[in-house]
A = this chain, B = another copy of it.
Amino acid sequence: MPSLPDGTGLPSTHPLVDGRTATSPLIDAYRARTPRRRPVWFMRQAGRSLPEYRESRAGTAMLEACLTPPLAAEITLQPVRRHDVDAGIFFSDIVVPLKLAGVDVRIEPGVGPVFGTAHRTAAEVDRLVTEHPAESLDEDALAPITEAVRLTVAELGSTPLIGFAGAPFTLAAYLVEGRPSRDHLAARALMHGDPQTWARLTAWAADVAGRFLRAQVLAGASAVQLFDSWAGSLSLDNYLRSVAPASHRTLSHVADLGVPRVHFGTGTGELLAAMRDVGADVVGVDDRIALDEAVRRLDGRVPVQGNIDPALLAAPWPVLEAHVRDVVARGAVAPGHVVNLGHGVPPTTDPDVLTRVVSLIHSIED
């Protein structure tokens, strides 16, 4: 599915259309054009590693923070101001669109998303998709998202905002289990044991995530990233049969808008080409595979994003610097490379190290 030209289908005031972000380093690299500087941002850059984040969040629950537009905008902007990164990533959580669709979910600190009920049977899935149709994620329901994106984009100026959503498999895994689990066994049992119910659940999750992404783009996001946190727990066969169709469905929701679509998961060395083929223009690569090997597995056809090992952020600077330079060198074989971590910023990271990494990356000559 080749991408449409930049900005097709977007309002004339969108930053990709009015010129603010169309030739930004991030968008140029995502489009396989030569950027004027090497772009970098960090997954989970808006979060617990920053003291200003901890201060902003104090006393506010996670989902409440995500749904309070000025706060979500402020948190999204903090790392851009601090680190001089080349993109903001919209501060949200993968369960936010479920919450907006009326699903009973809360985020327990130290645990993660906990649902009022698990969804393990055909009847439970039927109730979920009937009582909370994806269409209920309409303009009104999505207003807190739209508003937060507008506030963010107005502040970001020429720095692009990347929209955020969790992929249908990861959403469905949470919904089936009813809470975080290490192995997603109940979800995988449903996937194999009742493929029709699984397909119904993931198609619903795909539409929910797709509408969530589309709202962010229409409100001003210049790219999107679909996170399939747990795809790496599946074999390629299972991924292709039980997950790829729904991920394709999510990305189709923004296909007519002409924004770069990035797709990422951890432990996905065996799935990279399959994740590209669901409609991604850019593939994120974790740190378990060398970046040049990832490019090879992708046949060099798409730009890549990654893949600094987050563990190295705590290593002595010369070790980290050598690693960053190695990642940049390996990324040079791709048609485009946006530097990032191979996973999210660890909460214990010294923010000054991140700033120094950005500065290093911007200083490396081709």
Interface set of A (CB-CB < 8 Å, partner B): 183-189, 191-193, 232-235, 237, 267, 269-270, 287-290, 309-316, 319, 323, 343, 346, 348
Which of A184, A191, A288 has the most C-beta atoms of chain B within 10 angstroms of its own C-beta? A288
A310 and B183 in contact, given A270-B269, A315-B193 (Cβ under 8 angstroms): yes
Give min CB distance, A108 to chain B, whole Å.
Answer: 15
* In the complex, chain B residues whose CB is within 8 Å of the CB of A289: 235, 270
* In the complex, chain B residues whose CB is within 8 Å of the CB of A185: 310-311, 314, 346, 348
A235 and B319 in contact, given A186-B314, A310-B183 (Cβ under 8 angstroms): no
* In the complex, chain B residues whose CB is within 8 Å of the CB of A319: 192-193
Give min CB distance, A249 to chain B, whole Å.
Answer: 23
* In the complex, chain B residues whose CB is within 8 Å of the CB of A192: 309, 311-312, 315, 319, 323
A193 and B269 in contact, given A183-B343, A235-B288, A346-B183 (Cβ under 8 angstroms): no
> Can you offer 26 A-B residue contacts whose CB atoms are under 8 A?
A183-B310, A183-B346, A185-B310, A185-B311, A185-B314, A185-B346, A185-B348, A186-B314, A188-B309, A188-B312, A189-B312, A189-B315, A192-B309, A192-B311, A193-B314, A193-B315, A193-B316, A193-B319, A232-B267, A232-B288, A233-B288, A234-B288, A235-B287, A237-B290, A270-B288, A270-B289
Give min CB distance, A316 to chain B, whole Å.
Answer: 5
Shortest Cβ distance from A185 into B: residue: B311
| Minimum-distance CB pairs A-B, first 5 | A188-B311, A193-B315, A189-B314, A185-B311, A192-B315
* In the complex, chain B residues whose CB is within 8 Å of the CB of A288: 232-235, 270
Shortest Cβ distance from A318 into B: residue: B193
Give min CB distance, A350 to chain B, whole Å.
Answer: 12
Docked Cα-Cα span, A234 to B288, in Å, equals: 5
* In the complex, chain B residues whose CB is within 8 Å of the CB of A188: 309, 311-312
Docked Cα-Cα span, A348 to B184, in Å, equals: 13
* In the complex, chain B residues whose CB is within 8 Å of the CB of A269: 269-270
Docked Cα-Cα span, A69 to B289, in Å, equals: 43
- Known A185-B310, A193-B312; 15 more pairs at CB < 8 Å: A185-B311, A187-B311, A188-B311, A188-B312, A189-B313, A189-B314, A192-B309, A192-B312, A192-B323, A193-B315, A235-B287, A237-B290, A269-B269, A270-B288, A270-B289
* In the complex, chain B residues whose CB is within 8 Å of the CB of A270: 269-270, 288-289
Give min CB distance, A293 to chain B, whole Å.
Answer: 9
Docked Cα-Cα span, A343 to B310, in Å, equals: 26
